Amino acid sequence: MRGNSRFWRDPALPFIEARSVADGRKVCYAAHSHESFSIGAITAGRSTYISGDSQQQVAAGTVVLMNPGVVHTCNPIAGEPWSYLMLYVDWSWLQGLGFSPPTAISSTSVALFGELRQLFDVLLEEQPPATAKEAALRGFFRGLGQHLGASEQSASEGDQRLLAAAAFIRSHCTEPLRLEHISQAAGLSTSYLIRAFKQQFGLTPHGYLLDQRVQYARAQLRRGRQIAEVAVEAGFADQAHLQRAFKRHLAATPGHYRSAQ
């Protein structure tokens, strides 16, 4: 697994993380989300990409995009080999550039694919200083925002209450939440919450809670903290429970993720 999947991080650039996967057949995901903005390049083969309520097949040369909080999966087609590169960028850093959430979930632009591959190469090179890498990142994402455009759709009152439910889960994900707590916080009946939340986010409230706990653990492990300590703090019963959930959601073990450079 470790030879097939590689994470890259730089202490001088704490707002970004990169991942390369040589054989996507060995790295499969359950439905999950990210707090960061994610963008990737399919470098070989094909896969099925599900983002929100959209599903499509993507192939080599495609750029895929995931806005923060959007539930998605991207897994191989019938065992076909495929490979990809991913960047995960802190949303607050992007907002500082004036970047807005794009409506597109994928692009077959040859120019965009080439620019993303070039950016990835710059990040992984040892010679350029962090300042040069950050300059390359700023240039890429400023261009990306202009190219893809932004969403200006407003949520309905019903959607706003579901968004409030999701925000409540995110804010209290390490606590022993019950469905009644979430529905009361959002002003919704539990029956409506269960039905509508899955339609809106692609996960049940419990599934979304588990996903947020994994994301919390990911952030803590990135700081080098001990796995067992993080597991309990994140709301998991024990380290084994975190291990199972982490691998389903991120297709990597906590140990692999924590030690990767």
Using one digit for the tens of pLDDT, what is the confidence trace for 99-144? Answer: 888 888 999 888 899 999 999 999 999 888 999 999 999 999 988 8
Cβ neighbours of 178 (radius 10 Å): 11
- Identify the pLDDT of residue 126: 85
How many angstroms separate the CA atoms of 143 and 148, rounded?
A: 9
- Identify the pLDDT of residue 153: 39
Answer whether CATH 2.60.120.10 is correct for domain 5-148. Answer: yes
Q: Which of 7, 112, 5, 125 is nearest to 65 (CA)?
A: 112
Nearby residues of 28 by Cβ (< 8 Å), 6 or more positions away: 75, 76, 251
Number of helices followed by number of strands (H, E) in the chain: 10, 8
- Identify the pLDDT of residue 1: 41
How many angstroms separate the CA atoms of 244 and 176, rounded?
A: 19
How many angstroms separate the CA atoms of 231 and 224, rounded?
A: 13
CATH code of the domain made up of 157-259 = 1.10.10.60
- β-pair partners for 21: 5, 84
Q: Which two tokens stand for residue 178?
A: 């019950």
Share of the chain above pLDDT 90, in %: 52
**Residue environment code for 106-126, b if the CB has 16+ CB neighbours within 10 A, otherwise e:** bbebeebbebbeebbebbeee
- β-pair partners for 76: 47
DSSP-assigned letter for residue 156 = P
- Identify the pLDDT of residue 3: 55
Residue 227: pLDDT band with limits 50, 70, 90? very high
Q: At which residue do the structure tokens 């993507």 appear?
A: 58
- Identify the pLDDT of residue 177: 93
Asked if residue 89 has pLDDT above 70, the reply is yes
How many angstroms separate the CA atoms of 210 and 177, rounded?
A: 11
Q: Which of 154, 127, 124 is nearest to 137 (CA)?
A: 124
Asked if residue 65 has pLDDT above 90, the reply is yes
pLDDT in tens, 12-56: 999 999 999 888 777 778 888 888 999 999 999 988 898 887 889
Q: What is the average pLDDT value for the chain, to the nearest integer? A: 87
Sequence letter at residue 16: I
Q: At which residue do the structure tokens 């959607």 appear?
A: 159
Asked if residue 257 has pLDDT above 80, the reply is yes
pLDDT in tens, 142-171: 888 666 654 433 444 457 888 899 989 999
- Identify the pLDDT of residue 145: 66
Q: Tell me the HSE value of 3 on the side-chain side, using a 13 A CA sphere.
A: 0
Helix axis angle for 205-222 and 190-201, nearest 10°, is 60
- Identify the pLDDT of residue 146: 63
Domain boundaries, the chain: 5-148, 157-259
How many angstroms separate the CA atoms of 114 and 110, rounded?
A: 6
pTM of the model: 0.75
> How far out from the chain centre does Cα 145 lie?
18
Q: Which two tokens stand for residue 70?
A: 């959007």
Please report the DSSP string for 143-162 in residue order.
HHHHHH----PPPPHHHHHH
